[in-house]
Structure 1
Amino acid sequence: MIPLLESSPGTRRQLTVHRYGTPGRGPKAYLQTGLHADELPGPVVVQHLLPLLDDAATAGRIRGEIVVVPHANPIGLSQYLFGKHAGRFEFDSLGNFNRHYPDLAGPVGDAVAERLTDDAAGNIDLIRGECRRLLAARTPRTEVEHLRLELMKLAVDADIALDLHCDDVAAMHLYLGTPLWPDAADLAAELGAVAVLLAEVSGGEPFDEAMGGIWWQLANRFPDRPVPPACLSATVELRGDRDVGDDLAALDAAALFRFLERRGLIAGAPGPLPPALCDATPLDGTDILACPCGGVLIFHRQVGDRIAAGDTVATILDPTTGARTALISRAAGVLFARAGHPLARPGLPAAKVAGPLPLAHRTGALLTQ
């Protein structure tokens, strides 16, 4: 248990952490879920994964170090307002729980600039050590800052860092740093992802980029020194927020376990890798169809459908006049996510289509705009 700072007298929240294996012996994997506390497929998946890890540990099959946080946001888990759970944004600051993670690349780069060598493995150890030192020196001011800090401390030296989320209504998909592809293709295939979205900078400083982005930032800063992308960090979107159930969660947990076997964290025979369901596409090739007006959303296509550029994905019905406004995709690709509530509001992201080519209008905060 890791206690967090008290926001008010008489209250105390804590992080639960499960640890397997021996630190420093073999590769390290870190998995967390529930950072957006109202996204609940992940916590069920983890509860199916933990017994598999327990059995592997009992059998002496853990070859590296595995750290699992079964719910990474006790703050958001407690936020309930007007009969609804609100776990995506913190009530105090209104900030997104999966944004604003510290970018360590600058200070770490300054600290190691004169110490990097031609030894890639040595550079990895040096950079990770400096990351740990910088995080240990930080003093959080608020409970949410403390939460972010403790999660980063747990994950910053991991070879694999998976942040489990979900969308509204969605198929399985992943967000990855561009330098991690195609090395992460086994993760996408094992999970059955229908879309893999790549970006070096997606905007907003999410958790996965705080873990992985430091490596390609330092590689760009020091091109004459070998700095490999040493952390396979990914946001795994476990379909939609209503896809909560034991049968589906057991399948996902088994897939994650096989991935850990395949990556050498656990001794075992994962079997043949399933065929990939997609190739990766650039995040700036994803068309996010935003509502231009309010009304009632009527979808004409389902998640997983192939969409052609120019297709009408949904219509917004004005219930006062009967007027209809079409939402037309500018990308050709797979419809991998859509809004779950039928009420349209101006600016609401109604649907997401993953296309293979960058779109001119997709700049800035790529996760939301």
Structure 2
Amino acid sequence: MHVRHHPLLTRNPCTQRQLISLHYGQPGGAGKVYLQASLHADELPGMLALHHLRLLLDEAEARGEVLGEIVLVPIANPIGLEQTLMHDAMGRFDFNSGENFNRRYPDLAQMIQAQLGAELNDDPQHNQQLIRRAMAAALKRMLPGSELDSLRQAQLLLAHDADFVLDLHCDAQAVVHLYGETPYQAQLEPLARYIGAQATLLASGTGAGSFDEACGQPWWRLAQQFAGRFPIPSGCVAATVELRGEAQVEHPLARQDAAALYAFLQHRGLLAGTPPPLPALLQPITPFDGSLTLRAPCAGLVVFLHSPGAWIERDQPLVHIIDPISGTTQVVCSTTSGVMYMRSAIRFAAAGVELCKVAGAVPLAGGVVVSA
């Protein structure tokens, strides 16, 4: 394993942060997988999972069993990791700009599509390499105007040529779940099985500009644009993996997640050895626009009636909102059936605050629904 340091644009002459990446194997082998953790810097279960995966990869490397290129970025957001307010970590939004750290990544398809028409041909492998070179050149031409933009640039320079990209996050209180893109459902299902996802939500572009979309989305969009003219293979499959809740930074869970990721890397052929048999899919894959978001209809004390992972039927009560002054209770019910895969850590809510989400199989009118 070797370590690389990627300096970020400095905010002032006295300080400089850097992105640090750990590299196993060599380019040109059995493919490339990129894994990063804690892009939302206060979401730490993925950081511990990569710590334990690193220990497994060190052993595999010593045995000569790393067949492809594996890149780990255990701290994907050194900017957010330093942000605290009154001892509380505040790693989701950049204090300097107010931006969500997992938004506004550059649109690589848009940046390169105009130049591709004259160079693509009938060879899918030629086209894949051409697109990856064009992506790298476009990223290197970028002139970041902020430290945050330089972080996005550094991450994509490491990940743009990966066959598979995993962005490890967590939610407030949750079971393991993942987000991906519909064109890659077949490639994502083994991942969902190995990590034990209790919800897998897929969409063909949410418009969020997130890191995983920046990596995976250009390929199916370019394939659509050049359909019937040039074959564009699937150059990168990307997913956001939510490893339970923020407080679940625990060795047993992290070892379990690391073993699952190791098995997935074996399944992809990047590590020698027979991978464990594919586990059962715990819950069916569902559309992202079938996810129901329930919000507080009024202010009050929040009492959840179910834990994350519970199966919820349509019209079933999920939350009580209690007014301690009047003594009244409002009942929040689900308008769909599915798994409640996350809930908020807030226990006294203002009106309109997000409470929990249910992964339904049926797309909802308008996508996100407020239910009371």
TM-score range, shorter chain: over 0.9
| 1:169 corresponds to 2:173 | yes
Between the aligned partners of 2:219 and 2:332, the Cα distance in structure 1 is 38
Deviation at 1:302, TM superposition (A): 1.4
- Which of the residues 226, 233, 236 maps onto 1:231? 236
Corresponding residue of 2:216: 212
- Which of the residues 358, 362, 367 maps onto 2:363? 358
Corresponding residue of 2:132: 128
Deviation at 1:204, TM superposition (A): 1.8
Corresponding residue of 2:9: 5
- Which of the residues 326, 333, 337 maps onto 1:332? 337
Contact 1:333–1:354 (CA under 8 A) maintained in structure 2: yes
1:90 corresponds to which letter in structure 2? D
Moved more, 345-354 or 96-105: 345-354
Between the aligned partners of 1:278 and 1:220, the Cα distance in structure 2 is 30
Corresponding residue of 1:254: 259
SS across alignment from 1:17: strand
What is the percent sequence identity of the aligned residues?
45
TM-score, normalised to structure 1's length? Answer: 0.96
SS across alignment from 2:23: strand
1:323 corresponds to which letter in structure 2? T
Contact 1:179–1:229 (CA under 8 A) maintained in structure 2: no
Deviation at 1:346, TM superposition (A): 2.6
Deviation at 1:114, TM superposition (A): 2.4
Between the aligned partners of 2:363 and 2:284, the Cα distance in structure 1 is 15
SS across alignment from 2:278: coil
Deviation at 1:279, TM superposition (A): 1.7
- Which of the residues 162, 168, 184 maps onto 1:180? 184
Structure 1 runs not aligned, ≥5 long: none
Corresponding residue of 1:97: 101
Structure 2 runs not aligned, ≥5 long: none
Report 1:58-207 matches (<5 A): 58-207=62-211
Corresponding residue of 1:311: 316
- Which of the residues 247, 250, 267 maps onto 1:245? 250
Deviation at 1:103, TM superposition (A): 0.8
Deviation at 1:295, TM superposition (A): 1.5
Structure 1 consecutive aligned stretches of length 4 or more whose deviation exceeds 6 Å:
none
Between the aligned partners of 1:13 and 1:2, the Cα distance in structure 2 is 9
When the two chains are superposed, the root-mean-square deviation of aligned CA atoms in Å is 1.3
Between the aligned partners of 2:351 and 2:200, the Cα distance in structure 1 is 27
| 1:54 corresponds to 2:63 | no
Corresponding residue of 1:291: 296
Between the aligned partners of 1:265 and 1:162, the Cα distance in structure 2 is 14
Deviation at 1:26, TM superposition (A): 2.6
SS across alignment from 2:187: coil
Deviation at 1:71, TM superposition (A): 0.7
Between the aligned partners of 2:85 and 2:339, the Cα distance in structure 1 is 35
Between the aligned partners of 2:352 and 2:120, the Cα distance in structure 1 is 46
Between the aligned partners of 1:186 and 1:154, the Cα distance in structure 2 is 24
Moved more, 112-121 or 246-255: 112-121
Moved more, 298-307 or 221-230: 221-230
SS across alignment from 2:49: helix
Deviations 1:145-173 (A, max 9, x none): 11011001100010010000000110000
Between the aligned partners of 2:6 and 2:271, the Cα distance in structure 1 is 26
Between the aligned partners of 1:351 and 1:256, the Cα distance in structure 2 is 27
| 1:345 corresponds to 2:345 | no
| 1:301 corresponds to 2:306 | yes
Between the aligned partners of 1:344 and 1:203, the Cα distance in structure 2 is 28
Corresponding residue of 2:44: 40
Deviation at 1:275, TM superposition (A): 1.2
Between the aligned partners of 2:206 and 2:324, the Cα distance in structure 1 is 36
